[in-house]
């Protein structure tokens, strides 16, 4: 999940069983750094009390339009317009209908009437019984709202609280927060193709044993997610990872370095940027035993041979500055000298260097402390979330690609 640091997210809650899930969504928005304020319909308050939202946001909750004290705290026009994004969660069939028809008869519908969705994003995350969702009126209202620039976070299909099975279940809070982040991300990579590698490789030497490393793929998945949010067409080639695929990203799963090499070469044509975050095994076993190696001698030796160096091969085969090439140097110790040498020897545009032994950095954690090493110099970044690093790299890609024609 990405950063929403200091972004003002206004959340409008409607009356439905999923209203309690809006509490989790607000918590996740806050975790991503957002400043959240909540408005509730009168019917929403029958499902969750305003006090819950007030307690977690530390801000007054807008519950009425015609109450002088509510309007003193924050007026409905301010709630509609003084934000970076407005999120309606859960959006009832009723609120979709009222917004499509331009009705403002209570606080949330009146707020919506005062929005300008093409100027500042407004998202609906609908949740309702399948019959209500599939009703022609609701589908028509969703179409009208989309045409007017409102964004819809599509509901999931599954078993609903009312006993029905089908579409209408509120999207997961994580997916709703991703949609908020995407709505706030400048689309600086539209028309660009980005290839990202991530995760470890596995080099088997018998059917049940392999050489590998602790890479989880987190950094690469976050970079792929950030590039997709910025509008790029992203292919993520990854070794064995247990992370959810970021929205809008196509993936290719591989196991060995040889497979990763083949997948990268197959997907290279037409790519504008390659980001090699994968922790590719430098060596593989010369011979792979068809059966499990038995415990025999006290000392066993394993003969290793070099795997292809994908980054070096990409650097050597570049035509001019295309594709833009970003490599990673994860070192156990000060990485800058090595990163500078790697930048030159592998003909990269950028090496993202980090010391995996430093606090807040390395494998399996959500943060990293990296330096950006280019021919122009070194920029040392503070400890950042891997998502924020992904966003920083997107800025680098957009700046470097500016002026070069998209295919
Ligand atoms: C127990 C219960 C659960 C409901 N769940 C939903 C729901 O999930 N989605 C929905 O659109 N309406 C649901 N409704 C109906 C809405 O509460 C009703 O349409 C109401 O007018 C919506 O008000 P609001 O849009 O002002 O919040 C539910 C009603 C009840 C009694």
Nearest CA to ligand 1 atom 14: 16
Is 348 annotated as catalytic? no
Task: Spot the catalytic one: 14, 99, 162, 348.
Answer: 162
Q: Is the pLDDT of residue 385 over 50?
A: yes
> In the block, which residue shows the tokens 């705290």?
73
Mean per-residue pLDDT of the chain: 92
Tokens describing residue 211: 């050489």
Q: Is the pLDDT of residue 398 over 70?
A: yes
Exposure of 281 in the CB half-sphere (CA atoms within 13 A)? 24
Judge if the beta carbon of residue 389 lies within 6 A of ligand 1: no
Judge if the beta carbon of residue 100 lies within 6 A of ligand 1: no
Max mean pLDDT among 97-101, 326-330, 379-383 falls in 97-101
SS (H, E, C) 219-241: HHHHHHHHHHHCCCEEEEEECCC
Task: Give mean pLDDT, residues 361-368.
Answer: 74
How high is the pLDDT of residue 321?
82
Q: State the closest ligand 1 atom to the C-alpha of 42, by its place in the atom list counted from 1.
A: 26
Whether 20 contacts 90, CB under 8 Å: no
Judge if the beta carbon of residue 39 lies within 6 A of ligand 1: no
Give the other-Cβ count within 10 Å of 118's Cβ. Answer: 10
Nearest CA to ligand 1 atom 17: 15
Task: Give mean pLDDT, residues 346-373.
Answer: 84
pLDDT tens string 264-313: 999 999 999 999 999 999 999 999 999 998 887 788 899 999 999 999 99
Q: How far is CA 400 from CA 104, 176, 275, 394, 404, in A?
A: 47, 31, 14, 10, 8
How high is the pLDDT of residue 404?
60
How high is the pLDDT of residue 356?
79
CA angle 356-357-363, nearest 5°?
A: 45
pLDDT above 90 coverage of the chain, percent: 77
Judge if the beta carbon of residue 110 lies within 6 A of ligand 1: no
* Ligand 1 mean position, distance from CA 146 (Å): 22
How high is the pLDDT of residue 346?
95
pLDDT tens string 161-204: 778 788 999 999 999 998 999 899 888 999 999 999 999 999 99
How high is the pLDDT of residue 1?
47
> How far is the C-alpha of 197 from the C-alpha of 267, rounded, in Å?
11
Out of 11, 14, 16, 39, mutate this one to test ligand 1's pocket (max ligand atoms within 8 Å of CB): namely 16
Max mean pLDDT among 237-246, 316-325, 334-343 falls in 237-246
pLDDT tens string 93-134: 999 999 999 999 999 999 999 999 989 999 999 999 999 999
Judge if the beta carbon of residue 92 lies within 6 A of ligand 1: yes
* Ligand 1 mean position, distance from CA 268 (Å): 50
> How far is the C-alpha of 245 from the C-alpha of 251, rounded, in Å?
8
Question: Domains in the chain, start-ordered, CATH in brackets?
Answer: 8-184 (3.40.50.1950), 193-292+300-401 (3.40.50.10300)
Q: State the closest ligand 1 atom to the C-alpha of 106, by its place in the atom list counted from 1.
A: 26
How high is the pLDDT of residue 79?
93
* Ligand 1 mean position, distance from CA 98 (Å): 13
Q: Is the pLDDT of residue 69 over 80?
A: no
Judge if the beta carbon of residue 112 lies within 6 A of ligand 1: no
Q: State the closest ligand 1 atom to the C-alpha of 18, by its place in the atom list counted from 1.
A: 8
How high is the pLDDT of residue 158?
86
Judge if the beta carbon of residue 132 lies within 6 A of ligand 1: yes
Nearest CA to ligand 1 atom 29: 16
* Ligand 1 mean position, distance from CA 96 (Å): 12
> How far is the C-alpha of 317 from the C-alpha of 311, rounded, in Å?
10
Q: Is the dihedral of CA 215, 218, 222, 224 positive or negative?
A: positive
Collapsing DSSP states into helix, strand and coil, what is residue 62? Answer: strand
How high is the pLDDT of residue 407?
42
- Sorting pLDDT into bands at 50, 70 and 90, what band is 43? very high
* 385 or 88, higher pLDDT: 88
How high is the pLDDT of residue 245?
93
Q: Is the pLDDT of residue 342 over 90?
A: yes
CA-based nearest residue to 16, from 114, 145, 160, 159: 160
Judge if the beta carbon of residue 120 lies within 6 A of ligand 1: no
Q: How far is CA 281 from the centre of its chain?
A: 26
Judge if the beta carbon of residue 103 lies within 6 A of ligand 1: no
Q: State the closest ligand 1 atom to the C-alpha of 94, by its place in the atom list counted from 1.
A: 25
* Ligand 1 mean position, distance from CA 37 (Å): 22
Nearest CA to ligand 1 atom 13: 16
Q: Is the pLDDT of residue 218 over 60?
A: yes
């Amino acid at each position: 999940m990405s950063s929403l640091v200091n972004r003002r997210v206004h959340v409008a809650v409607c009356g439905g069983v999923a209203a309690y899930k809006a509490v989790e969504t607000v918590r996740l928005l806050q975790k991503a750094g957002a400043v959240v304020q909540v408005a509730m319909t009168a019917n929403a308050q029958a499902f969750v009390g305003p006090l819950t939202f007030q307690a977690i946001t530390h801000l007054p909750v807008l519950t009425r339009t015609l109450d002088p004290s509510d309007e003193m705290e924050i007026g409905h026009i301010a709630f509609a317009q003084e934000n970076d994004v407005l999120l309606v969660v859960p959006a009832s069939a009723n609120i979709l209908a009222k917004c499509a028809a331009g009705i403002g008869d209570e606080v949330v519908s009146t707020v919506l009437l005062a929005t300008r969705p093409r100027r500042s994003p407004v998202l609906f995350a609908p949740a309702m019984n399948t019959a209500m969702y599939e009703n022609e009126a609701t589908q028509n209202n969703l179409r009208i709202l989309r045409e007017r620039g409102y964004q819809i976070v599509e509901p999931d299909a599954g078993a609903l609280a009312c006993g029905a099975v089908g579409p209408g279940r509120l999207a997961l809070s994580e997916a709703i927060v991703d949609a908020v982040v995407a709505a706030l991300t400048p689309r600086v990579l539209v028309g660009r193709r980005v290839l990202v590698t991530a995760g470890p490789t596995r080099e088997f030497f018998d059917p049940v044993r392999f050489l590998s490393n602790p890479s989880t793929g987190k950094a690469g998945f976050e970079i792929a997610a950030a590039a997709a949010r910025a509008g790029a067409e992203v292919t993520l080639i990854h070794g064995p990872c247990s992370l959810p695929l970021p929205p809008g990203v196509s993936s290719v799963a591989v196991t060995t370095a040889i497979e990763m090499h083949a997948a990268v070469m197959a997907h290279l044509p037409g790519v504008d940027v390659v980001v090699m975050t994968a922790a590719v095994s430098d060596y593989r076993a010369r011979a792979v035993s068809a059966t499990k190696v038995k415990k025999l001698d006290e000392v066993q030796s394993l003969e290793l041979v070099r795997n292809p160096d994908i980054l070096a091969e990409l650097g050597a085969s570049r035509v001019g500055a295309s594709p833009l090439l970003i490599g990673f140097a994860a070192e156990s110790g000060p990485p800058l000298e090595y990163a500078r040498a790697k930048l030159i020897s592998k003909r990269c545009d950028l090496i993202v260097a980090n010391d995996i032994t430093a606090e807040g950095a390395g494998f399996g954690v959500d943060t990293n402390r990296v330096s950006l090493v280019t021919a122009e110099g070194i920029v040392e970044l503070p400890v950042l979330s891997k998502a924020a690093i992904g966003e920083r790299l997107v800025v680098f890609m957009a700046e470097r690609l500016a002026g070069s024609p998209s295919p």
